[in-house]
Structure 1
Amino acid sequence: MPLLMLDLDNTLVDRDAAVADAVAEFLAAHELPPADLAWIVDLDANGYAPSADVAAAMVRRYGAALAAPVEALLDNGAADRVALLDPTREALARAHADGWSCVIVTNGETPQQEAKIRNTGLDRLVQGWVVSEAVGHKKPEPEIFRAAAATVGLPLDGAWVVGDSAHADIAGAHALGLGSVWVSNGRTWSEESFRPTHVTVGVHTAIDHVVGAPSR
């Protein structure tokens, strides 16, 4: 059974849109400038900025009185707002029906990431998942991909990685000699030292490409 490892945030689900929605609500609830949405989104850096750093910057800007609401906002991470689109759900079902074992490989905090997986129903569509906080390794470190393979008892040989991050997903796959599909989300590839095996705009077409791709 071949192994397909998939990123979660901004690959399987649109994390950035969910975060922007949550931040906009936070700003409105506390009568803060709506224009600060861009500042907070920039601070967040697509989820790669440490939440403690984001919280500290927000508290400096808004005052200690909002420390608890800021913490609640960041702890939730918009886990209650992410959604799984039907084309993605259907592509995962096709992959499983075709004999692929799908495992989510995600950086982040375990409660937040597992809440996203369960809230969207991904827990019923994939065969396993690993979260960096739980395994003590972050993408692109090879250990997290090895842990993902171990969750379903499969070797990494012949596995594929699908994700939106050049430095976390595609670099990790490249280092291990695995096939990879970069979900561009409309961006242009800019890395010169390595490249994905394939590029698609969205995750459902990425999954379909892998399922139809020859074994490596």
Structure 2
Amino acid sequence: MTLEHRISPAVALRPGVAVRSRGSHGAVGSPYDERVLILIDLDNTLIDRDAAFRGAVAAFLAGHGLPGADLAWVMEIDASGYATRDTVARAITERYRDEVPPSAVRALLDRGAADRVELPRETEEALLAVREAGGECVIVTNGRVAQQEAKIRNTGLDRLVQGWVVSEAMGCKKPAPEIFRAAAGLTGRPVDGAWVIGDSPHADIAGAAALGLRSVWVSHGRTWSDPAFRPTRVAADVVTAIRDVAGGHGRVS
């Protein structure tokens, strides 16, 4: 049986908020915690957004005959997607005013990363195992609806998670408690007891701490440095984080 036959895609409740209908859960003999609820980040957690954007920028520069060395400059002003679209667009447009039309800059920022992003097979398998065991994952992401939903659908994540919420649709961004509560609400469960997984200390881990939720920081080799709050656990990558939470280590007693 193919993945497409086993998993139905999520249905949009409104742009930026979607939920998948429930099916049968709880595979016999599964090592995963059937009760786990995971609220998980998208960019640079489930997917390598920076690598996708870097590839898009490299192609953009080459396609317009611009210096390849400018790649580092664009990535710096982009700040891993945390800089606003208007800020990045303005900087690129001003730098290449006589060489690149504004429409090309808009296309880069609107579709560049979304068209190139990929979901690693190991991440897909980890999410599928959680679902088949009866657990639920909901994506909680900051960003624009069109861009974030394109990433979710282009990678097939819409068939692997219970649903998603995008900050633009919610009118608030992580670490605001409301966006995490809304994500948990898609499953019909309260946010209490959920785990938060993400790579951002401020958006993900601080958001979890404010709600008293347990969290796993996806470190990508970094060292935790904020003394004001700490994640419950640290994992080098998202697959390790998912398996740690869902495989019984994060079990709710």
Q: Same fold (TM over 0.5)?
A: yes
Whole-Å Cα distance in 1 between the matches of residues 211 and 181 of structure 2?
A: 10
Q: Give the counterpart letter for 1:6 in structure 2.
A: I
Whole-Å Cα distance in 2 between the matches of residues 191 and 77 of structure 1?
A: 32
Structure with higher Rg: it is 2
Say which of 82, 102, 116 aligns to 1:67: 102
2:55 corresponds to 1:18? no
4+ long deviations beyond 2 Å: none
Structure 2: 5+ residue stretches without partners: 1-34
Q: Give the counterpart letter for 1:215 in structure 2.
A: V
Give the CA deviation at 1:128.
0.5
Name the stretch that deviates more: 160-169 or 88-97. 88-97
Find the counterpart in structure 1 of residue 88 from structure 2.
Answer: 54
- 1:78-126 deviation line (CA, Å, top 9, x unaligned): 1011111011111111111222111000000001000000000000000
Find the counterpart in structure 1 of residue 153 from structure 2.
Answer: 118
Return the structure number with greater relative CO, CA threshold 8 A, min gap 6: 2
Q: Tell me the SS of whatever aligns to 2:165.
A: strand
Structure 1: 5+ residue stretches without partners: none
Q: TM-score, normalised by structure 2?
A: 0.83
Instruction: Output aligned runs, 1:34-183, within 5 Å.
Output: 34-63=68-97, 65-183=100-218
- 1:7-49 deviation line (CA, Å, top 9, x unaligned): 0000000000000000000000000000000000000001000
Whole-Å Cα distance in 2 between the matches of residues 77 and 207 of structure 1?
A: 28
Structure 1 or 2: more helix by fraction: 1
Instruction: Output aligned runs, 1:183-194, within 5 Å.
Output: 183-194=218-229
Q: Tell me the SS of whatever aligns to 1:79.
A: helix
2:8 corresponds to 1:8? no
Give the CA deviation at 1:77.
4.2
Asked whether the equivalents of residues 105 and 131 of structure 1 are also in contact (C-alpha less than 8 Å), the reply is: yes
Q: Say how many residue pairs are matched.
A: 216
Q: TM-score, normalised by structure 1?
A: 0.97
Name the stretch that deviates more: 6-15 or 95-104. 95-104
